[in-house]
């Protein structure tokens, strides 16, 4: 959602783990940068912090209709500006390269001599939305595959500069780590494997088994 649409006392939804929890916005938190809000979940009564981008409108509300309309318009603009196989993040885009940093619990070893391009705009939002749909107990590799399923279609990923590809996987690690931290903050313990993960582990999925036994 847009920050201008968030109302104190309003009811929205936010993804926590593998579910969309109903929340009520209590107040806006002090601080610079992206505005954050203190919310209370309607089903557990726990408090959680969320940005406007993480809040989702309730189905059937005018805010939900406005968000669907914006998503449709954004998709139409992307399709007209970025044909398959090309990359263009913004008009006259000049990338800013930075040295990568490890992400605890995700990426421990990085090459500081190989820079990455930090994702911005719709690229960053795409990663945020895709990773939000990955269970917090899943490993980083699963989150990467979920993002690859979106940006790798038709071989488009091969057209991205190397520093942007590295920046995308680092962004996945950072976002997935943030989701795990939020899960732990809200639930009071680390992510618990879902029933789907346990079933996959029992049927021989090695990735799921490693996640369940972690």
Rg (CA), the chain: 18
Q: What is residue 86's predicted lDDT score, i.e. its pLDDT?
A: 47
Say yes or no to pLDDT of 88 above 60: no
> Mean pLDDT across the stretch 28-45?
87
Say yes or no to pLDDT of 4 above 80: yes
Q: DSSP assignment of the chain, as one string?
A: --GGG--TT-EEEEEETTEEEEEEEEEEPP-SSS-EEEEEETTT--EEEEETTTEEPPTTSHHHHHHHHHHHHHHHHHHHHS-TT---SSTT----EE----BTTTB----TTS-EEPP-HHHHHHHHHHHHTS-TTS-HHHHHHHHHHHHTGGGGGGGS-HHHHHHHHHHHHHHHHHHHHHHHHHHSSPPPPPHHHHHHHHTT-HHHHHHHH-
As given in the structure block, the two tokens for residue 109 are 């070893």
| 23 — pLDDT class (breaks 50, 70, 90) | very high
Read off the pTM.
0.52
> Mean pLDDT across the chain, nearest whole number?
81
Q: For the chain, which domains are there?
A: 1-81 (2.30.30), 84-213 (no CATH)
| Burial call 50-82: b when 16+ CB within 10 Å, e when fewer | bbbbbbbbeeeeebbeebeeeeeeeeeeeeeee
pLDDT digits (tens, 9 = 90+) for 154-205: 667 777 888 888 888 899 999 999 988 888 888 888 777 767 757 766 777 6
Smallest CA-to-CA distance from 10 within 20, 19, 23, 1 is with 23
Q: Say if strands 97-98 and 116-117 run parallel, antiparallel, or are unpaired.
A: antiparallel
Share of the chain above pLDDT 90, in %: 13
Cα 137 from Cα 139, distance rounded (Å) = 7
| 105 — pLDDT class (breaks 50, 70, 90) | confident
> Mean pLDDT across the stretch 131-155?
84
| 41 — pLDDT class (breaks 50, 70, 90) | very high
Q: What is residue 34's predicted lDDT score, i.e. its pLDDT?
A: 81
């Amino acid at each position: 959602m847009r920050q201008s649409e968030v109302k104190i006392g309003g009811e929205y939804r936010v993804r926590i783990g593998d579910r969309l929890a109903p929340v009520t916005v209590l107040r806006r938190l002090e601080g610079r940068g992206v505005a954050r809000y203190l919310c209370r979940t309607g089903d557990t009564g726990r408090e959680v912090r969320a940005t406007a981008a993480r809040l989702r409108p309730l189905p059937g509300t005018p805010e939900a209709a406005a968000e669907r309309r914006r998503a449709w318009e954004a998709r139409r603009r992307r399709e007209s500006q970025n044909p398959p196989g090309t990359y263009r993040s913004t008009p006259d885009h000049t990338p800013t390269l930075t040295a990568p940093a490890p992400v605890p619990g995700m990426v421990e070893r990085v090459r500081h001599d190989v820079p990455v391009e930090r994702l911005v705009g719709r690229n960053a939002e795409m990663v945020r939305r895709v990773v939000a749909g990955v269970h917090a107990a899943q490993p980083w590799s699963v989150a990467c595959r979920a993002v690859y399923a979106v940006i790798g279609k038709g071989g488009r990923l091969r057209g991205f500069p190397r520093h942007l590809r590295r920046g995308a996987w680092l962004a996945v690690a950072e976002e997935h780590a943030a989701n795990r931290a939020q899960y732990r903050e809200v639930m009071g313990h680390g992510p618990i494997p879902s029933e789907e993960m346990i079933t996959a582990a029992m049927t021989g999925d090695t990735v799921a088994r490693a996640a369940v036994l972690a």
